[in-house]
Structure formats: C-alpha cells, structure tokens
Amino acid sequence: MWCITKDGFLSVVGLRNPITPKEHDILMVRARQFDHLDGLIDYAHVHHDLQLDVRDDIGHDYKYRVFVSRKVFAGYIQEMAEHIDYPNFKDAASTSIHWGLRGQQALGKIWEILWDLLGRRDGPKNSYSDLSTYTRRTIGDLYARDPEVFVDMPDEWDPEKEFL
C-alpha cells in the first residue's frame, strides 16, 4: 500500500514469506527519505513506548525501512485521519517541511496522472490519445522499463512509435 501524507511517502508491505502467526502480523514500512518515517517513529514511541529501528538498505529502491505490527501502523493511520484539518491536501502538503518544492511538483503530477487515468467529471479517458502529455510520457517511461506491464493498453497505442 502506498501512503501519501503530509509527512511524506511510505510504501507498506507484508513480509515476503511469513511462517509464524507473529510474522503475519508484521509490516515493513519503507521510505525513500528518512524524515518521511518521522511521524510513524514518533507515534510508535509516544503511544506504544516503542523505539523503532530504522534500517538503512542502500541497495534497495526504498532506502529506509522499519518493521511494525499491523496494530501500530493502523493506529498511526487512524491518528493521522483524526487530525485532518485541511480542505485541500496538496495545499496542506505544500506547507510541510517533508515535501519541499520538488515534492509539491510530484504531488501535482500524481494528481494529474490519476485524474487522467481514473476519470474526470465527464468520465474516465478510454483513449490513450485523450491522456495528457505528461501522463503519456510517464506511461512511456514505464513501458521502456517493463513492456509486459502493458497488456491492457488501448489498441491505438503504439509505444514503439510514441516513445522509441
């Protein structure tokens, strides 16, 4: 699960091969920037008296990782939900020290891509040509990395012609 909050961007997954019931209860919370874990670290300390050990895994796409129980992580998300006090997420995130200018721009791009792919007020865009230039470029970058991901693209989309 991806969590995009005022505190930053987190990727949350279960353990790869859990064996015991206790391992099934553990989540790995990953971040690309250390300070994006600050909110979870503070929550675990204040509410559960836990000192989370942040692992620095340089060779992975998410450099920083912590392991927490599902209960602790759910409590953190619940507390964040209870403290939402803004009418616009992107504006609220723009005032956070965790995002900065590049982060604010990324949030705008994420919003644009989801707007294009999931639908505008007039319904979802079913044609590749209806997508914004930025979204088409992003899809092209993903295609260049792994063409197998795009088994469901519209018939008129020709990635070779568009991007290569």
* Alpha helices per DSSP H over 12-99: 21-24, 38-48, 70-82, 89-94
The b/e string for 113-132 (b: 16+ C-beta within 10 A; e otherwise) is: beebeeeeeeeebeebeebe
- Concatenated DSSP letters of 76-123: HHHHHHHT---S-HHHHHHTSTTTHHHHHHHHHHHHHHHHHHH-BTTB
Quick one: tokens of 61? 């796409």
From CA 83, how far away is CA 74, in angstroms rounded?
14
pLDDT tens, residue order, the chain (164 aa): 999 998 889 999 988 776 766 778 899 999 999 999 999 999 999 999 999 999 998 788 899 999 999 999 999 999 999 999 988 888 888 788 777 777 778 888 888 878 777 766 665 555 555 666 666 666 666 666 666 655 555 555 565 555 44
The domain segmentation of the chain, as residue ranges, is 2-82, 99-163
